[in-house]
Structure 1
Amino acid sequence: MDLPLVVGVDGSEPSLRAVDWAADEAALRGLPLRLVYASLWERYEGAALAGDLGEPSEQITAEDIVRVAAQRARLRHTDVEISTAVLPEEPEYALVREGRHASAVVLGTRGRSGLVEMLLGSVSLTVAAHADCPVIVLRGSHDNQAGAGIHGRVVVGVGEKGTNSAALRFAFQEARLRHVPLDAVRAWRCPAHETTDHPLLAGEPARLHEQHATEVLEEALKNAPADVELHRRTIEGPARRVLLAISHEADLLVVGALRKPGHIGLQLGRVAHATLHHAACAVAVVPEWV
């Protein structure tokens, strides 16, 4: 049985755009779509959905939210199997639990100030840090089409997991489904203490670090599928800065996040944390179990 693609809905415009994106993704993968509304509040507080329904926001219920979201998804893809759930609990806990039986979780970001385009909501951050499955977070300015994005490109940050990288496997699949190229990026840096003033040795430490990055990248990609157009890129700079810059050229940025069984607390890492907050495109955080 295929695990569903889960999308968190709350009636806000970002979550409805996430429904669009998730419906496209479910259609691409041939998966069922599960729409989940989770909240301890019995009533919805917001203007976007209330305006669509022509009712005061205090009269909108959780059932209204999932019903409208399901209708929207069905209009977009009539062949996608859709189920819904209304859960009276904190959304962070509900969506992490849903992720145990999902192929991925899709979330929109929702802010309450002018920083909405920059800062990530606590629900998205918590779910991305704890879920057992990939979590795709759609930032406020994302294109709401999964299959035919603006740039026609998927980017993956290549870490130290080599050919065992779950993030790489996920990125290969996403590029294949979209019929777009995949940019595999390995960032590298030359530590300041390794520089030298000797003219005959100038640039040697940097060359060695770049060569190592190339070797790591080649090792990670040695079993790359032949049906994906693959671009190898080694770029000098901190991984966070490199991936944030290249996110302006991508429709989806894929990063890994190390997970240790039994560990309590956020398990994201600096790179995933930074891209979730500041990337210019949708970000997929893929657990890398150690």
Structure 2
Amino acid sequence: MTFWRSSKTDLVDNQALSQLSLRAASRREGIAAWIFLAPALIFLGTFLLWPIAYLFYLSFTTGSFTLAGVHWVGGKNYLRLLLTPDFWQVITNTVYFTVATVIPSLVISLGLAVLLNRSFALRGLLRTAFFIPSITSLVAAGLGFRWLFQTEGFVNSLLNFFGIESISWLGSTVWAMPVLILLSIWKQLGFNMVVFLAGLQAIPVNRYEAAELDGANSWQQFWHITLPGLKPTLVFVTVTTAIFTLRSFEQVYVITGGGPLNSTNLLVYYIYDQAFAQFDFGYAAAAATVLLAVTLLLVYLQLQVWAKDN
């Protein structure tokens, strides 16, 4: 009886020691994990979370180069946004620019991806050629487009060759924005095409083979197999293209400077102008907060679509 009790006590003690050892090991692993995560967390906190928090704080102040010059104004900067006609023109310009860039970019890049997903000579060369714009500096590309569309540029020379009068592309409130849109589509085309190619190659080939046996033509295969299979990719490309377009700055800065008559002034350039030309940091921070909110909304919608698909 005494031996049985002693054995039972030893068993309980061993279990307790085992649990303590597991807890200690788990604690050590947790500490090690935090140590390895610390550099990334410090980096994110310093260069992402803190700037966002400070931007939000600055949007409720007058803003200044020094902390001593900062004065709390509450929501006045946001009220000024609502009451400023120039801001609403900038919003209109940005929406027009975004829609007119995203839709053609998606359609053209998807069409190219479908064509270049087939086997034929020079396929690799064409893929590379279409991808080059996405790795080209926007400043360099902007200077090139500015030269192409200036009054005595190549585009007008080509029009004159066919007997068409020159167009003041960059001096016209009608034509200046299409030049920026064309540059943005050209810039995004290659990246979107590569993403669509990856999505196309993830669609099982046997689906197309079964559709052919059922007598489906190319258009029916595209509509009923390709598009549904590309839905997650399509959402990703749409959101990334929209975010890239909303962040457009270099092409405006290099080509038009927001003109003529504010017709190409986009939101990021407007924020830059208010902050570093007008030195109205609080107002610029409020406008930047609006841009951040729109970007986060787009990301949220993308995650919701992905979650629904999964």
TM-score range, shorter chain: under 0.3
By relative contact order (CA 8 Å, sep 6+), the higher-ranking structure is 2
Q: Which has the higher strand share?
A: 1
Higher helix share: 2
Structure whose alpha-carbon radius of gyration is higher: 2
The two structures have a TM-score, normalised by structure 1, of 0.23
TM-score, structure 2 length as denominator?
0.22
